[in-house]
Amino acid sequence: MMKNSDRQFTVDNWGYPPQNRQSFQHVQSLFPTARLRRGPGPITTFDSHSKDILNMTYAGADESQRTVQQMLDDSYTDAFIVVKDNAILCEHYANGMAADSFHLLNSVTKSFVGMLAGIHISKGLIQETDLVTQYLPELADTAFSESTIRHLLDMTAAPKYGEDYADRSADFWVEAAVVGWRPALRTKESATTLLAHATTLTESEQSNGEKYHYRTVLTNVLGMVLERAGQGSLQEQLQNELWQKLGPQQDAAIVVDSVGFPYVGAGMNACARDLARFGQMMIQQGEYNGEQIVPQQWIDDTRHANDQARINFAQSDYGAMMPGGHYRNQVWVEDADKGVLVAIGIHGQVIYMNMQTQVVIVKLSTHPESSSALFQDGFIAMRALAESL
Protein backbone atom coordinates (compact mmCIF):
# COMPACT_ATOMS: atom_id res chain seq x y z
CA MET A 1 0.00 0.00 0.00
CA MET A 2 1.28 3.45 -0.92
CA LYS A 3 2.33 5.66 1.99
CA ASN A 4 0.76 9.10 2.12
CA SER A 5 4.25 10.60 2.06
CA ASP A 6 4.87 8.94 -1.32
CA ARG A 7 1.75 10.35 -2.96
CA GLN A 8 2.40 12.93 -5.64
CA PHE A 9 -1.25 13.37 -6.61
CA THR A 10 -4.20 15.33 -5.24
CA VAL A 11 -7.80 15.81 -6.35
CA ASP A 12 -6.61 18.89 -8.24
CA ASN A 13 -3.74 17.38 -10.24
CA TRP A 14 -4.47 13.64 -10.34
CA GLY A 15 -5.57 13.56 -13.99
CA TYR A 16 -2.49 15.28 -15.38
CA PRO A 17 1.01 13.95 -16.11
CA PRO A 18 3.13 12.90 -14.38
CA GLN A 19 0.75 12.47 -11.42
CA ASN A 20 -1.56 10.19 -13.41
CA ARG A 21 1.17 7.53 -13.44
CA GLN A 22 0.37 7.00 -9.76
CA SER A 23 -3.21 8.17 -9.45
CA PHE A 24 -4.80 5.84 -12.02
CA GLN A 25 -4.10 2.97 -9.64
CA HIS A 26 -5.47 4.83 -6.60
CA VAL A 27 -8.72 6.42 -7.76
CA GLN A 28 -10.59 4.88 -4.82
CA SER A 29 -8.49 6.94 -2.42
CA LEU A 30 -9.54 10.14 -4.18
CA PHE A 31 -13.25 9.81 -4.93
CA PRO A 32 -16.32 7.95 -3.61
CA THR A 33 -16.86 4.66 -5.43
CA ALA A 34 -19.41 1.85 -5.57
CA ARG A 35 -18.27 -1.77 -5.58
CA LEU A 36 -19.14 -4.44 -8.09
CA ARG A 37 -18.62 -7.39 -5.77
CA ARG A 38 -17.16 -10.53 -7.26
CA GLY A 39 -19.51 -12.70 -5.20
CA PRO A 40 -18.92 -16.06 -3.54
CA GLY A 41 -18.51 -18.09 -6.72
CA PRO A 42 -15.30 -19.70 -7.96
CA ILE A 43 -12.77 -17.74 -10.01
CA THR A 44 -12.86 -18.65 -13.69
CA THR A 45 -9.33 -19.77 -14.49
CA PHE A 46 -7.17 -19.32 -17.56
CA ASP A 47 -4.81 -21.92 -18.94
CA SER A 48 -1.16 -20.84 -19.20
CA HIS A 49 0.83 -21.25 -22.41
CA SER A 50 3.72 -18.84 -21.91
CA LYS A 51 5.13 -17.38 -25.11
CA ASP A 52 7.89 -14.82 -25.68
CA ILE A 53 5.51 -12.09 -26.81
CA LEU A 54 7.59 -9.15 -25.59
CA ASN A 55 10.43 -9.84 -28.05
CA MET A 56 8.15 -10.32 -31.02
CA THR A 57 8.59 -7.70 -33.72
CA TYR A 58 6.18 -5.78 -35.91
CA ALA A 59 6.38 -2.97 -38.46
CA GLY A 60 5.65 0.36 -36.77
CA ALA A 61 3.90 3.37 -38.28
CA ASP A 62 7.18 4.38 -39.98
CA GLU A 63 7.73 0.77 -41.20
CA SER A 64 10.71 0.29 -38.87
CA GLN A 65 10.88 -2.95 -36.92
CA ARG A 66 9.90 -2.60 -33.28
CA THR A 67 9.52 -5.07 -30.47
CA VAL A 68 6.40 -5.33 -28.35
CA GLN A 69 8.54 -4.46 -25.33
CA GLN A 70 9.58 -1.20 -26.99
CA MET A 71 5.95 -0.33 -27.63
CA LEU A 72 5.02 -1.04 -24.02
CA ASP A 73 7.89 1.06 -22.67
CA ASP A 74 7.23 3.97 -25.01
CA SER A 75 3.49 4.06 -24.30
CA TYR A 76 3.58 4.22 -20.50
CA THR A 77 2.10 0.75 -20.11
CA ASP A 78 1.08 -0.41 -16.63
CA ALA A 79 -0.45 -3.79 -17.49
CA PHE A 80 -0.43 -5.95 -20.62
CA ILE A 81 -2.06 -9.35 -21.05
CA VAL A 82 -2.35 -11.48 -24.19
CA VAL A 83 -4.84 -14.37 -24.18
CA LYS A 84 -5.51 -16.89 -26.96
CA ASP A 85 -8.08 -19.67 -26.74
CA ASN A 86 -8.56 -18.85 -23.04
CA ALA A 87 -4.85 -19.33 -22.27
CA ILE A 88 -2.58 -16.53 -21.06
CA LEU A 89 0.40 -16.24 -23.40
CA CYS A 90 1.89 -13.13 -21.82
CA GLU A 91 1.28 -11.14 -18.66
CA HIS A 92 3.41 -8.06 -18.02
CA TYR A 93 3.20 -5.38 -15.31
CA ALA A 94 5.13 -2.16 -14.78
CA ASN A 95 4.97 1.13 -12.88
CA GLY A 96 4.24 -0.60 -9.58
CA MET A 97 1.18 -2.44 -10.89
CA ALA A 98 0.49 -6.13 -10.15
CA ALA A 99 -2.07 -8.78 -11.07
CA ASP A 100 -4.40 -7.65 -8.29
CA SER A 101 -3.98 -3.89 -8.82
CA PHE A 102 -6.94 -1.70 -9.69
CA HIS A 103 -6.55 0.66 -12.65
CA LEU A 104 -8.85 3.35 -13.98
CA LEU A 105 -10.50 2.21 -17.23
CA ASN A 106 -11.91 5.53 -18.42
CA SER A 107 -14.22 4.85 -21.38
CA VAL A 108 -13.65 1.11 -21.46
CA THR A 109 -16.43 1.38 -18.84
CA LYS A 110 -18.89 2.21 -21.62
CA SER A 111 -18.68 -1.25 -23.19
CA PHE A 112 -19.96 -2.86 -19.98
CA VAL A 113 -23.00 -0.57 -20.11
CA GLY A 114 -23.61 -1.43 -23.75
CA MET A 115 -23.63 -5.15 -22.95
CA LEU A 116 -25.99 -4.63 -20.00
CA ALA A 117 -28.36 -2.87 -22.40
CA GLY A 118 -28.40 -5.98 -24.59
CA ILE A 119 -29.29 -8.10 -21.58
CA HIS A 120 -32.17 -5.73 -20.70
CA ILE A 121 -33.49 -5.84 -24.27
CA SER A 122 -33.41 -9.65 -24.31
CA LYS A 123 -35.48 -9.67 -21.11
CA GLY A 124 -38.04 -7.29 -22.56
CA LEU A 125 -37.25 -4.59 -19.99
CA ILE A 126 -36.55 -2.03 -22.72
CA GLN A 127 -36.72 -1.71 -26.49
CA GLU A 128 -34.10 0.14 -28.48
CA THR A 129 -36.82 2.26 -30.08
CA ASP A 130 -38.11 3.49 -26.70
CA LEU A 131 -37.79 7.19 -26.03
CA VAL A 132 -35.37 8.12 -23.28
CA THR A 133 -38.09 10.23 -21.65
CA GLN A 134 -40.23 7.12 -21.15
CA TYR A 135 -37.81 6.27 -18.34
CA LEU A 136 -36.44 9.71 -17.55
CA PRO A 137 -39.32 12.22 -17.69
CA GLU A 138 -36.92 14.72 -16.09
CA LEU A 139 -35.37 15.12 -19.56
CA ALA A 140 -38.61 16.08 -21.33
CA ASP A 141 -37.55 19.71 -21.74
CA THR A 142 -34.02 18.95 -22.90
CA ALA A 143 -32.32 18.00 -26.13
CA PHE A 144 -32.98 14.36 -25.18
CA SER A 145 -36.74 14.82 -25.65
CA GLU A 146 -36.88 12.85 -28.93
CA SER A 147 -33.83 10.64 -28.41
CA THR A 148 -34.25 6.86 -28.30
CA ILE A 149 -32.21 4.21 -26.53
CA ARG A 150 -30.67 3.30 -29.91
CA HIS A 151 -29.48 6.89 -30.34
CA LEU A 152 -27.70 6.65 -26.97
CA LEU A 153 -26.19 3.25 -27.75
CA ASP A 154 -24.66 4.42 -31.03
CA MET A 155 -23.72 8.01 -30.05
CA THR A 156 -26.13 9.59 -32.54
CA ALA A 157 -28.42 11.50 -30.13
CA ALA A 158 -29.13 15.21 -30.49
CA PRO A 159 -27.64 17.00 -27.43
CA LYS A 160 -24.86 19.51 -27.91
CA TYR A 161 -21.83 18.38 -25.91
CA GLY A 162 -18.14 18.91 -26.56
CA GLU A 163 -15.62 16.13 -25.91
CA ASP A 164 -12.34 17.77 -26.89
CA TYR A 165 -10.16 16.46 -24.08
CA ALA A 166 -7.46 19.06 -24.78
CA ASP A 167 -9.98 21.79 -23.90
CA ARG A 168 -9.85 21.85 -20.10
CA SER A 169 -13.27 23.51 -19.93
CA ALA A 170 -14.97 21.18 -22.43
CA ASP A 171 -18.42 19.79 -21.62
CA PHE A 172 -16.79 16.42 -20.89
CA TRP A 173 -14.73 17.93 -18.07
CA VAL A 174 -17.66 19.97 -16.78
CA GLU A 175 -19.65 16.75 -16.44
CA ALA A 176 -16.65 14.99 -14.88
CA ALA A 177 -16.52 17.80 -12.32
CA VAL A 178 -19.88 16.53 -11.03
CA VAL A 179 -18.07 13.49 -9.60
CA GLY A 180 -15.11 15.57 -8.42
CA TRP A 181 -12.67 14.99 -11.26
CA ARG A 182 -12.14 18.66 -12.08
CA PRO A 183 -12.93 20.63 -8.91
CA ALA A 184 -11.73 23.89 -10.45
CA LEU A 185 -14.68 23.78 -12.86
CA ARG A 186 -17.29 23.65 -10.12
CA THR A 187 -19.32 26.75 -9.30
CA LYS A 188 -22.28 27.51 -7.04
CA GLU A 189 -24.54 26.81 -10.02
CA SER A 190 -22.95 23.46 -10.92
CA ALA A 191 -25.10 20.35 -10.97
CA THR A 192 -24.46 18.01 -8.06
CA THR A 193 -25.65 14.81 -9.76
CA LEU A 194 -25.16 13.34 -13.22
CA LEU A 195 -28.90 13.43 -13.85
CA ALA A 196 -29.10 17.08 -12.88
CA HIS A 197 -26.26 17.80 -15.28
CA ALA A 198 -28.10 16.00 -18.10
CA THR A 199 -31.14 18.24 -17.54
CA THR A 200 -28.99 21.28 -18.40
CA LEU A 201 -28.38 20.04 -21.96
CA THR A 202 -31.15 21.90 -23.75
CA GLU A 203 -29.33 22.70 -27.01
CA SER A 204 -29.11 20.27 -29.94
CA GLU A 205 -26.14 19.95 -32.27
CA GLN A 206 -27.83 17.58 -34.75
CA SER A 207 -30.99 15.66 -35.45
CA ASN A 208 -31.28 12.34 -33.64
CA GLY A 209 -29.64 9.64 -35.76
CA GLU A 210 -28.13 12.18 -38.16
CA LYS A 211 -24.48 11.41 -37.46
CA TYR A 212 -22.07 9.75 -35.07
CA HIS A 213 -20.51 11.98 -32.43
CA TYR A 214 -18.85 10.40 -29.41
CA ARG A 215 -20.20 11.94 -26.17
CA THR A 216 -19.76 10.50 -22.69
CA VAL A 217 -22.98 12.02 -21.39
CA LEU A 218 -24.95 9.68 -23.67
CA THR A 219 -23.54 6.67 -21.84
CA ASN A 220 -24.37 8.15 -18.45
CA VAL A 221 -27.96 8.79 -19.56
CA LEU A 222 -28.13 5.24 -20.97
CA GLY A 223 -27.09 4.02 -17.53
CA MET A 224 -29.90 6.03 -15.96
CA VAL A 225 -32.41 4.42 -18.34
CA LEU A 226 -31.13 0.95 -17.48
CA GLU A 227 -31.38 1.64 -13.76
CA ARG A 228 -34.99 2.84 -14.08
CA ALA A 229 -35.94 -0.14 -16.26
CA GLY A 230 -34.23 -2.88 -14.27
CA GLN A 231 -34.24 -4.25 -10.76
CA GLY A 232 -32.07 -2.51 -8.18
CA SER A 233 -29.41 0.13 -8.62
CA LEU A 234 -27.28 0.32 -11.74
CA GLN A 235 -24.36 -0.83 -9.62
CA GLU A 236 -26.30 -3.96 -8.61
CA GLN A 237 -27.39 -4.62 -12.18
CA LEU A 238 -23.84 -4.45 -13.53
CA GLN A 239 -22.67 -6.61 -10.65
CA ASN A 240 -25.36 -9.28 -10.87
CA GLU A 241 -25.88 -9.47 -14.64
CA LEU A 242 -22.29 -9.09 -15.80
CA TRP A 243 -19.47 -8.87 -13.30
CA GLN A 244 -20.19 -11.84 -11.06
CA LYS A 245 -21.02 -14.08 -14.01
CA LEU A 246 -17.50 -13.61 -15.39
CA GLY A 247 -16.06 -15.43 -12.36
CA PRO A 248 -13.69 -12.50 -11.67
CA GLN A 249 -10.79 -12.73 -9.26
CA GLN A 250 -11.77 -9.54 -7.46
CA ASP A 251 -14.28 -6.73 -7.19
CA ALA A 252 -14.46 -3.78 -9.53
CA ALA A 253 -15.20 -0.21 -8.44
CA ILE A 254 -16.95 2.71 -10.14
CA VAL A 255 -16.72 6.38 -9.19
CA VAL A 256 -20.15 7.73 -8.12
CA ASP A 257 -21.86 11.10 -7.86
CA SER A 258 -23.33 12.65 -4.71
CA VAL A 259 -26.35 10.33 -4.70
CA GLY A 260 -24.33 7.20 -5.44
CA PHE A 261 -25.09 6.92 -9.17
CA PRO A 262 -22.13 5.35 -11.02
CA TYR A 263 -20.17 7.46 -13.47
CA VAL A 264 -20.43 4.78 -16.15
CA GLY A 265 -19.14 7.03 -18.90
CA ALA A 266 -15.59 6.72 -17.59
CA GLY A 267 -15.32 5.80 -13.91
CA MET A 268 -14.76 2.04 -13.65
CA ASN A 269 -11.64 0.54 -12.03
CA ALA A 270 -10.60 -3.12 -12.27
CA CYS A 271 -7.64 -5.48 -12.59
CA ALA A 272 -6.30 -6.50 -15.99
CA ARG A 273 -7.10 -10.21 -15.68
CA ASP A 274 -10.78 -9.51 -15.10
CA LEU A 275 -10.88 -7.34 -18.19
CA ALA A 276 -9.40 -10.28 -20.10
CA ARG A 277 -12.33 -12.37 -18.84
CA PHE A 278 -14.75 -9.78 -20.22
CA GLY A 279 -12.92 -9.85 -23.56
CA GLN A 280 -13.01 -13.64 -23.64
CA MET A 281 -16.76 -13.53 -23.07
CA MET A 282 -17.14 -11.13 -25.97
CA ILE A 283 -15.18 -13.24 -28.49
CA GLN A 284 -17.15 -16.31 -27.37
CA GLN A 285 -20.36 -14.69 -28.58
CA GLY A 286 -21.43 -13.67 -25.08
CA GLU A 287 -20.97 -17.14 -23.56
CA TYR A 288 -18.54 -17.62 -20.69
CA ASN A 289 -18.12 -19.62 -17.53
CA GLY A 290 -20.76 -22.08 -18.74
CA GLU A 291 -23.45 -19.44 -19.20
CA GLN A 292 -24.80 -17.22 -21.96
CA ILE A 293 -24.15 -13.91 -20.21
CA VAL A 294 -24.85 -11.52 -23.10
CA PRO A 295 -27.25 -12.70 -25.83
CA GLN A 296 -25.44 -13.92 -28.95
CA GLN A 297 -27.81 -11.83 -31.05
CA TRP A 298 -26.58 -8.70 -29.25
CA ILE A 299 -22.93 -9.59 -29.87
CA ASP A 300 -23.76 -10.20 -33.54
CA ASP A 301 -25.54 -6.86 -33.76
CA THR A 302 -22.55 -5.16 -32.17
CA ARG A 303 -20.19 -6.82 -34.64
CA HIS A 304 -22.15 -6.30 -37.85
CA ALA A 305 -24.44 -3.31 -37.12
CA ASN A 306 -25.89 -1.87 -40.34
CA ASP A 307 -24.92 0.32 -43.28
CA GLN A 308 -26.07 3.49 -41.58
CA ALA A 309 -23.78 2.88 -38.61
CA ARG A 310 -20.82 2.52 -40.98
CA ILE A 311 -21.78 5.65 -42.91
CA ASN A 312 -22.16 7.64 -39.70
CA PHE A 313 -18.78 6.48 -38.46
CA ALA A 314 -16.95 7.07 -41.76
CA GLN A 315 -18.16 10.67 -41.84
CA SER A 316 -16.99 11.35 -38.29
CA ASP A 317 -13.62 12.51 -36.97
CA TYR A 318 -12.88 8.88 -36.08
CA GLY A 319 -13.42 7.48 -39.57
CA ALA A 320 -9.76 7.82 -40.52
CA MET A 321 -8.67 6.09 -37.31
CA MET A 322 -10.60 2.90 -38.11
CA PRO A 323 -11.28 2.84 -41.87
CA GLY A 324 -14.25 0.61 -42.60
CA GLY A 325 -15.12 0.39 -38.92
CA HIS A 326 -18.16 1.43 -36.95
CA TYR A 327 -19.42 2.11 -33.43
CA ARG A 328 -22.28 0.02 -32.07
CA ASN A 329 -23.71 -0.66 -28.62
CA GLN A 330 -20.90 1.28 -26.90
CA VAL A 331 -18.18 -0.80 -28.60
CA TRP A 332 -15.73 0.16 -31.36
CA VAL A 333 -15.64 -2.33 -34.24
CA GLU A 334 -12.43 -2.22 -36.24
CA ASP A 335 -13.26 -5.05 -38.65
CA ALA A 336 -16.71 -6.67 -38.75
CA ASP A 337 -15.64 -9.50 -41.09
CA LYS A 338 -12.88 -10.64 -38.75
CA GLY A 339 -14.85 -9.77 -35.65
CA VAL A 340 -12.36 -7.26 -34.25
CA LEU A 341 -14.02 -5.43 -31.37
CA VAL A 342 -12.32 -2.81 -29.22
CA ALA A 343 -13.10 -1.10 -25.91
CA ILE A 344 -11.12 2.13 -25.61
CA GLY A 345 -10.44 4.65 -22.84
CA ILE A 346 -8.42 7.85 -22.88
CA HIS A 347 -4.80 7.80 -21.71
CA GLY A 348 -4.30 4.33 -23.21
CA GLN A 349 -6.88 1.85 -21.91
CA VAL A 350 -7.73 -0.94 -24.37
CA ILE A 351 -9.41 -4.34 -24.58
CA TYR A 352 -8.62 -5.62 -28.08
CA MET A 353 -10.75 -8.62 -29.13
CA ASN A 354 -10.33 -10.66 -32.31
CA MET A 355 -13.02 -13.30 -32.83
CA GLN A 356 -11.36 -14.81 -35.88
CA THR A 357 -8.06 -15.57 -34.15
CA GLN A 358 -9.59 -15.93 -30.66
CA VAL A 359 -7.13 -13.44 -29.21
CA VAL A 360 -7.83 -10.95 -26.41
CA ILE A 361 -5.32 -8.25 -25.48
CA VAL A 362 -5.65 -5.97 -22.46
CA LYS A 363 -3.47 -2.86 -22.21
CA LEU A 364 -3.77 -0.42 -19.31
CA SER A 365 -1.65 2.70 -19.57
CA THR A 366 -1.00 6.20 -18.32
CA HIS A 367 -0.31 8.18 -21.47
CA PRO A 368 0.58 11.80 -20.70
CA GLU A 369 -2.13 13.02 -23.07
CA SER A 370 -5.76 11.91 -23.28
CA SER A 371 -5.47 11.14 -26.98
CA SER A 372 -2.15 10.80 -28.77
CA ALA A 373 -0.11 8.98 -31.41
CA LEU A 374 0.78 6.43 -28.72
CA PHE A 375 -2.62 4.86 -29.37
CA GLN A 376 -1.73 4.35 -33.04
CA ASP A 377 1.47 2.41 -32.35
CA GLY A 378 -0.27 0.32 -29.71
CA PHE A 379 -3.03 -0.64 -32.13
CA ILE A 380 -0.52 -1.51 -34.85
CA ALA A 381 1.23 -3.84 -32.41
CA MET A 382 -1.96 -5.43 -31.09
CA ARG A 383 -3.30 -5.92 -34.59
CA ALA A 384 -0.06 -7.61 -35.63
CA LEU A 385 -0.07 -9.83 -32.55
CA ALA A 386 -3.67 -10.90 -32.99
CA GLU A 387 -3.05 -11.79 -36.63
CA SER A 388 0.18 -13.70 -36.03
CA LEU A 389 -0.62 -15.80 -32.96
pLDDT digits (tens, 9 = 90+) for 196-243: 999 999 999 999 999 999 999 999 999 999 999 999 999 999 999 999
pLDDT exceeds cutoff 70 at 354:
yes
**pLDDT category of residue 246 using cuts at 50, 70 and 90:** very high
pLDDT value, residue 57: 95
**Has residue 179 got a pLDDT over 80?**
yes
Q: What is the rounded average pLDDT of the residues 327-346?
A: 97
Give the tens place of pLDDT for each residue, 100-130.
999 999 999 999 999 999 999 999 999 999 9
Quick one: pLDDT at residue 371? Answer: 83
pLDDT of 131 above 70 = yes
Q: pLDDT per residue over 186-197, tens digit each?
A: 999 999 999 999
Q: What is the 3-state secondary structure (H, E, C) of the chain?
A: CCCHHHCCCCCCCCCCCCCHHHHCCCHHHCCCEEEECCCCCCCCCCEECCCCCCCCEEECCCCCEEEHHHHHHHCCEEEEEEEECCEEEEEEECCCCCCCCCEEEECHHHHHHHHHHHHHHHCCCCCCCCEHHHCCHHHCCCCCCCCEHHHHHCCCCCECCCCCCCCCCCHHHHHHHCCCCCHHHCCCCCCCCHHHHHCCCCCECCCCCCCCCCCHHHHHHHHHHHHHHCCCCHHHHHHHHHHHHHCCCCCEEEEECCCCCECCCCEEEECHHHHHHHHHHHHCCCEECCEECCCHHHHHHHHHCCHHHHHHHHCCCCCCCCCCCEEECCEEEEECCCCEEEEEECCCEEEEEECCCCEEEEEEECCCCCCCHHHHHHHHHHHHHHHHC
**CA–CA separation, 111 vs 87, rounded Å?**
23
**pLDDT score at 320:** 81
pLDDT, residue 341, reads 98
Indicate if the pLDDT at residue 33 is higher than 90.
yes
Q: What is the pLDDT of residue 319?
A: 81
Mean pLDDT of 130-141: 98
Per-residue confidence (pLDDT) for residue 372, from 0 to 100: 75
Let me know: does 234 contact 223? Beta carbons within 8 Å: yes
Amino acid at 364: L
Residues of the chain with pLDDT > 70, as a percent, come to 99
Average pLDDT, the chain: 95
Instruction: Give yes or no for a contact between 186 and 243, defined as CB atoms under 8 angstroms apart.
Output: no
What is residue 3's predicted lDDT score, i.e. its pLDDT? 62
* pLDDT above 90: percentage of residues in the chain: 91
d(C-alpha 389, C-alpha 384), whole Å: 9
Alpha-carbon span 162 to 200, nearest angstrom: 14
Is the predicted pLDDT of residue 1 greater than 90, yes or no? no
SS3 assignment, position 368: coil
Q: Could you report the per-residue pLDDT of 285-301, keeping only the tens digit for each?
A: 999 999 999 999 999 99
**Stretch (H or E) spanning 343:** strand 340-345
pTM above 0.85, yes or no: yes
Pairing of strands 47-48, 87-93: parallel
- The pLDDT tens digits for 46-103 are 998 999 999 999 999 888 999 999 999 999 999 999 999 999 999 999 999 999 999 9
> What span, in angstroms and rounded, lies between the C-alpha atoms of 129 and 147?
9
Confidence of residue 321 (pLDDT cuts 50, 70, 90): confident
Q: Which domains does the chain have, with CATH numbers?
A: 17-388 (3.40.710.10)
What is the per-residue pLDDT for 7?
Answer: 85
